[in-house]
């Protein structure tokens, strides 16, 4: 065995061992990378060995990146990056001004993303696999007139493996000419209806202006019937933000609201429900105008790195810019997916943002007031 092969084998054994030792292993890996092995040896080893990706991903997302680790990371994760979720706006902007959403103050115009731009952005997502793709962030996807083609770009043409695709709609813009072919295609795994309130028309329309309760029910009824009559496998789900009461340690939603929503939805074959408490979204009119119990941990501005930014998720806005999280509409344009590969964004400007968030969070608009 020659010296180079021996060093590769030795490195492989060390990384495999480190890969099972959680945090301790991450810090040891940092020592190996930074001190024990010259760069060219690590590049050769990382190019050949498909091990240690969990430890290295954790290391790169630990909040202590440096230029050297960025470069080595590119070799370690080449072709192996696995994301939990991609939130991808196919429409820039929304017609509603929900008071808990930043769109209530930003008031963006609605602009569907053209197919060529979607092609380009998806081609630049150079990963191995993603568990879930959400074709929405802060845009209303039903304004797109080519939903079936959008699904084909992801499910058929993309080079990475996809667990499932979900489309979420506010159910106010009834673009059935685009939605029904998308459902017929069999490429959409889940259609989620997004709603707010306590299950009454008055509450829904208060939280979701200028949305109308009757249009919500009309949409759900028609789509549910279509899915059932045509034996379509797409799951119909409901995601609802509930008015909440704050305490020192937790948010409490009245279970009667949940029961009310489930009773209303009973005729429509809703396969699952996602009920969430009302949180402060930076830039929303609710955040700007309502007084909250600031003693509650849920409403105190966070410090340093947050779980949303550190998660293995990718957030792409309607203009193709990578955003750091889903809790604010425009925090920072981390990179441009129209022109740049995702991993190049991750290993450079994204980690620069990590450093800034850790050390200067109070100076970043949006992040400075976010409770996450």
pLDDT of 165-194, one tens digit each?
999 999 999 999 999 999 999 999 999 999
How far is Cα 263 from Cα 160, in angstroms, rounded to an integer?
Answer: 40
Q: Rounded to two decimals, what is the model's pTM? A: 0.79
- Mean pLDDT, range 317-322, rounded to an integer: 94
Q: What pLDDT, in 10s, does the model give residues 219-251?
A: 999 999 999 999 999 999 999 988 875 544 455
Residue bearing tokens 């979204």: 281
pLDDT for 3: 55
- Mean pLDDT, range 284-293, rounded to an integer: 55
pLDDT for 248: 45
Question: How far is the CA of 362 from the CAs of 296, 332, 358, in angstroms?
Answer: 19, 14, 10
Token readout for 362 is 């109070």
Q: What pLDDT, in 10s, does the model give residues 24-51?
A: 444 444 555 555 455 455 445 444 433 3
> Is pLDDT above 80 for 110?
yes
Question: How far is the CA of 239 from the CAs of 151, 258, 274, in angstroms?
Answer: 21, 11, 5
Q: What pLDDT, in 10s, does the model give residues 269-280?
A: 999 999 887 776
> Is pLDDT above 70 for 293?
no
34-40: list long-range contacts, CB under 8 Å, 24+ apart: 34/68, 34/69, 37/7, 37/11, 39/68, 39/71, 39/72
Distance of CA 165 to the CA centre of its chain: 12
In contact, 333 and 323? CB cutoff 8 Å: yes
How far is Cα 130 from Cα 161, in angstroms, rounded to an integer?
Answer: 6
pLDDT for 370: 74
Across the chain, mean pLDDT equals 78
* DSSP element (H, E) containing 88: strand 82-88
pLDDT for 294: 43
Comparison of pLDDT for 356 and 149, the residue scoring more: 149
Number of residues that this document lists for the chain: 372
Comparison of pLDDT for 312 and 369, the residue scoring more: 312
Comparison of pLDDT for 257 and 245, the residue scoring more: 257
Residue among 354, 352, 344 nearest 63 (CA): 354
Residue among 261, 95, 108, 253 nearest 172 (CA): 95
């Amino acid at each position: 065995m020659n010296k180079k092969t021996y060093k590769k084998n030795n490195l492989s054994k060390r990384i495999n061992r480190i890969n099972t030792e959680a945090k301790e292993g991450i810090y040891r890996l940092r020592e190996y990378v930074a001190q024990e092995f010259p760069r060219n040896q690590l590049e050769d080893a990382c190019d050949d060995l498909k091990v240690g990706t969990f430890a290295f991903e954790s290391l790169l997302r630990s909040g202590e990146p440096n230029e050297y680790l960025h470069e080595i990371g590119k070799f370690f994760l080449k072709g192996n990056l696995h994301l939990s979720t991609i939130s991808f706006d196919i429409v820039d902007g929304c017609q509603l001004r929900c008071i808990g959403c930043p769109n209530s103050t930003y008031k963006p115009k609605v602009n569907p993303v053209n197919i060529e731009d979607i092609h380009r952005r998806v081609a630049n997502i150079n990963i191995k696999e993603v568990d879930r793709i959400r074709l929405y962030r802060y845009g209303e996807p039903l304004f797109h007139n080519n939903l079936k083609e959008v699904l084909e770009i992801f499910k058929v043409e993309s080079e990475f493996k996809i667990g499932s695709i979900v489309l979420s709609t506010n159910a106010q813009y009834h673009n059935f000419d685009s939605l029904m072919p998308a459902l017929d295609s069999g490429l959409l795994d889940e259609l989620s209806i997004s709603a707010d309130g306590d299950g009454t028309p008055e509450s829904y329309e208060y939280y979701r202006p200028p949305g109308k309760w009757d249009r919500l029910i009309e949409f759900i009824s028609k789509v549910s019937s279509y899915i059932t009559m045509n034996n379509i496998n797409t799951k119909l789900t409901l995601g609802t933000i509930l008015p909440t009461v704050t305490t020192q340690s937790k948010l409490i939603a009245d279970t009667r609201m949940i029961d009310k929503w489930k009773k209303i939805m009973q005729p429509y074959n809703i396969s699952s429900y996602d009920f969430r408490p009302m949180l402060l979204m930076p830039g929303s009119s609710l955040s700007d105008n309502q007084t909250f119990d600031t003693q509650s941990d849920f409403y105190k501005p966070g410090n340093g790195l947050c779980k949303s930014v550190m998660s293995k998720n990718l957030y792409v806005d309607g203009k193709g810019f990578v955003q750091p999280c889903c809790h604010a509409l425009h925090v920072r344009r981390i990179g441009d997916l129209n022109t740049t590969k995702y991993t190049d964004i991750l290993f450079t400007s994204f980690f620069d943002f990590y450093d800034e968030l850790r050390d200067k969070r109070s100076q970043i608009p949006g992040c400075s007031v976010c409770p996450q």
